[in-house]
């Protein structure tokens, strides 16, 4: 009887010792070991005007895209990369909504029919009559 109890106790202790695996860093002082809910894309920027995590910088307009944040470079890709609420502003000099056909990288993200053949005159663009 006592031997069986001892065996049972041993099994129980083993179960406790081998319980569910806990995160290795439960106090969350190192963002690298688990996903940070304030920074889903891991670019170091949070979507809010203030970040609870001191390691993060505010100003992420797309927390699912690590190429979009407040200090990103604007790319010619139809996305607001630098989070100033303007899309591809560096590639649309005449502000008609069509990026310059000679803009760096534009041709790889847009078809030639979508590109502005004259980015100095807003009346001239692929959508004009
Ligand atoms: Ca982002
Ligand atoms: Ca922008
Ligand atoms: Ca862009
Ligand atoms: Ca344009």
CA of 106 from ligand 1 middle (Å) equals: 21
Q: Is the residue at 78 inside a domain?
A: no
Q: What gap in Å lies between CA 53 and CA 37, rounded to an integer?
A: 10
- 111: pLDDT confidence band, cut at 50, 70 and 90? very high
Q: Is the residue at 55 inside a domain?
A: no
Between 95 and 34, the higher pLDDT residue: 95
Range of the domain at 127: 89-129
Q: Is the residue at 108 inside a domain?
A: yes
Nearest to 72, CA basis, from 60, 54, 55, 89: 60
Q: Is the residue at 94 inside a domain?
A: yes
Q: Is the residue at 44 inside a domain?
A: no
pLDDT of amino acid 35: 81
pLDDT of amino acid 86: 95
CA of 31 from ligand 2 middle (Å) equals: 28
Q: Is the residue at 19 inside a domain?
A: no
CA of 40 from ligand 1 middle (Å) equals: 8
| Domain count along the chain | 1
Question: Which residues are in the CB-under-5-Å shell of ion ligand 1?
Answer: 41, 43, 60, 62, 65, 68-69
Q: Is the residue at 80 inside a domain?
A: no
Q: Is the residue at 116 inside a domain?
A: yes
- 2: pLDDT confidence band, cut at 50, 70 and 90? confident
Question: For residue 115, is pLDDT > 70?
Answer: yes
Question: For residue 15, is pLDDT > 80?
Answer: no
> How far is the first Cα of the chain from the last one, in angstroms, to the nearest whole number?
95
């Amino acid at each position: 009887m006592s031997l069986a109890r001892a065996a049972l106790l041993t099994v129980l202790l083993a179960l406790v010792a081998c319980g569910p695996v806990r995160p290795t860093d439960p106090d969350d002082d190192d963002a690298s070991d688990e996903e940070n809910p304030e920074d889903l894309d891991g670019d170091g920027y949070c979507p809010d005007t203030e970040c609870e995590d001191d390691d993060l910088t505010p100003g992420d307009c797309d927390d699912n895209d690590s190429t979009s944040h407040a200090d990103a470079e604007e790319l010619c890709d139809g996305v607001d990369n630098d989070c100033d609420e303007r899309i591809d502003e560096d590639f649309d000099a005449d502000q008609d909504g069509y990026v310059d056909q000679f803009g760096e990288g534009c041709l790889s993200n847009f078809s030639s029919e979508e590109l502005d053949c004259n980015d100095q005159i807003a009346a001239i663009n692929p959508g004009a009559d």
